[in-house]
Amino acid sequence: MIDMKIEEIKKVIKSELPKILKSDPSFRRYIIQITKLYHSSKKKQKTE
């Protein structure tokens, strides 16, 4: 296993994610699904 710090992982994600989202529709749908779940739960918390 590669021993990377969280900040290094974030840096790679920020750099590479836009490219991956453009080139991989399946992965893009997966990320959208995850973010919808996250935002949906945050929205519910605000209204309660």
- Using alpha carbons, list the distances in angstroms from residue 1 to 5, 35, 39: 12, 27, 31
Q: Return d(Cα 37, Cα 43) in angstroms, integer.
A: 10
pLDDT tens-digit profile of 9-39?
Answer: 999 999 999 999 999 999 999 999 999 988 7
Residue with the bigger pLDDT between 4 and 34: it is 34
How much is the pLDDT for 47?
55
Pairs from 16-24 (Cβ < 8 Å, separation ≥ 24):
none
- What pLDDT was estimated at residue 43? 55
Q: What is the pTM of this model?
A: 0.61
Whole-number pLDDT of residue 1 = 46
Q: How many CB atoms lie within 10 A of CB 34?
A: 10
Residue 29: predicted pLDDT: 96
